[in-house]
Amino acid sequence: MCGITGWVSWQDDLTKQDKTLEAMNQTMACRGPDADGIWVRNHVALCHRRLSIIDLDGGKQPMASQAGDVVLTYSGEIYNFQELRTELSALGRNFRTRSDTEVVLHAYLQWGDAFVDRLNGMYAFAIWDQRQERLLLVRDRLGIKPLYYYPLDGGVVFGSEPKAILANPKVSAGIDLTGLSELLIFPGPRTTGEGIYRGMRELRPGHVFELTREGGIERRYWQLTSFLHTDTEQETIRTVRDYLEDITTRQLISDVPLCSLLSGGVDSSAMTALAAKNLRASTGQTLDSFAVDFVDSDKITSSSTPEDTWWSSLDAPFAREVANHVKCNHTPIVLSNDLLIEHEDIGLKTRDLPGWGDFDTSLYLLFKGVRERSTVALSGESADEVFGGYYYFQDPQALHHDGFPWLREGMAFADLLHDSHIAKIKPQEYAHQRYLETMAEVPRLEGETGTDARLREVFYMALTHWLPALLHRKDRASMAVGLEVRVPFCDHRLVEYVWNVPWHIKQMGGMEKGLLRHAVADALPESVAWRKKSGYPAARDDKYLKHVRAQLAALLERPTEPVFDLFDRAKVAGILDGTRPVPYIGTAPSPAHSMSYIVSFNKWIKNYGVDIHF
């Protein structure tokens, strides 16, 4: 995994922009600590920071074709690169390295723009084709790897993260009505494509952006398609298992230490079990696994907090049981409240936007601990979106809500704005318009009606809103420490197959993710295979919540903080005194997350010099 950035300008001589290019590339140093490179010509510059995973000695980037007229800066992993390399070699392509980077380059040279259809993996990259004076930006189908771009008059600036783009003096940290609406109405899953900063775009998953002297255009190269599922239950179970076996085998390829993230839920446990088996069979090695935990978490009983519907049981005992069952080396990364408080701003620093409080911090600290022993980790992320693990797939009220099901309880932080700002933003109308846009994209199945048709819509919302939000969080937290996290459940072949599986098979046995459970039950302890879903763990004792409450109280006491140009001070105070409900981010029903979001929002405005204009 790596970090990329670059600049195309038909009006500037970029060979004279050394300092700017170095500054842009330096922002990506955490994503690629092993090597760096800049390729520049008069009107184009491609920059790269490398995290070496495959072919440690080869694969230097940016990588140019033998003729020197096509150049690639690439971040990601192509899991079928060996098959593609064999096919390309048979077509006469000569390779100088063992890297998947060179496979991507030759695939473009051989097949042109259609090469993206052949890629299986997670990726975000830029190709400069001097023959056509054309830049091509490409992002993977599900949005595992990020890519942003900022159109300029006569060019574009792009990067893996907003900070790379903001390092260019032609770009300012401004925000308009749309960006503000996204932050305050959708603090959890935002609208894909919106870069939040004024003028900045996020390249949507499954899309490419093409820039020539005539201008730029974004277009889709992949989308889900709906058709009648004809496999029986047993055939479906077998197909899902076959996909998982193949995916896991492909994603074990690495020239550096690899591990698994094991929470003790069925998703991560399934990945760990299959990876441990396949790694032992292919190399004789024992898989390392890691999990996040908190000091004294075993003293918090299931009745200690009001959020027990989210955290149904402690993870640690189940993680240990799986580790013993599959014979892997398991290490819990145990966090204290003091450590969470010490690193509380890491979400803002990694996202370049207000974050999710200790959800971000704990994930970062988990990855920091993992990185001391491993460079690549397998994750169980995205199984909930693919197989239907969330409450709103089961709750009739949420399921049939005329809008995003996670917004039925209110407009999150938009309700805290000054009334005059609410009148401008019109939160209800904005959210409903975004909902209608999403509904217009849903790939319908002819003849499908009622609950089945609605569930298809809800699955589409989960895959296009919640999944990108969680992948975004995981990417920022992992790449901040130079850890590559792979997401096997995001293999597009599996997603395409499960997308068309009827709900009665997906929830077979009457349990969430029943299909997945049946597909992997033989590889897991029974207690884990049928364990009820429990959310990502968070700090749940009083000390952390008291700290966040104190921060918010101190913010309210300061008369000139910029956040109160937006938020009504009295409304925010109502959160502390209990006269107003705590806004719901959607990641978990914890007041600490929401309170810290307000504090982080203020720090973001100040630290990034954000110009808010709407």
| Catalytic residue positions, numbered | 2
Q: What do you get for the CA distance between the two ends of the chain, in Å?
A: 37
Cβ atoms 597, 585 nearer than 8 A? yes
Rounded to whole angstroms, the Cα distance separating 196 from 176 reads: 8
Q: Which residues contact 316 (CB under 8 A, 6 or more apart)?
A: 264, 291, 293, 297, 298, 332
Helix 591-607 × helix 569-577 angle, to 10°:
150
Cβ atoms 167, 393 nearer than 8 A? no
The alpha carbon of 152 is separated from its chain's Cα centroid by a whole number of angstroms, namely 26
Instruction: Using the structure block, give the residue that is written with the tokens 């089945």.
Output: 452
Assign 206 to helix, strand or coil: coil
Rounded to whole angstroms, the Cα distance separating 482 from 163 reads: 16
Say how many residues make up the chain.
614
Number of H helices, E strands in the chain: 24, 19
Rounded to whole angstroms, the Cα distance separating 272 from 275 reads: 5
Structure tokens at 219: 């277009």
Q: Nearest 5 degrees, angle CA 321-CA 322-CA 326? A: 120
Tell me the sheet residues that pair with 157.
7, 150
Rounded to whole angstroms, the Cα distance separating 104 from 115 reads: 8
Instruction: Using the structure block, give the residue that is written with the tokens 């600036």.
Output: 157
Assign 148 to helix, strand or coil: strand
User: Considering Cα of 278, then 279, then 283, then 284, what sign does the dihedral take?
Assistant: negative
Amino acid at 269: S
Rg over alpha carbons for the chain, rounded to the nearest Å, is 24
Q: Nearest 5 degrees, angle CA 233-CA 237-CA 242? A: 145
Q: Which residues contact 143 (CB under 8 A, 6 or more apart)?
A: 192, 204, 205, 206, 467, 468, 471, 472
Nearest to 372 by CA among 268, 290, 295, 486: 290
The alpha carbon of 439 is separated from its chain's Cα centroid by a whole number of angstroms, namely 22
Say whether the peptide bond before residue 62 is cis (omega within 30 degrees of 0).
yes
Tell me the sheet residues that pair with 73.
126
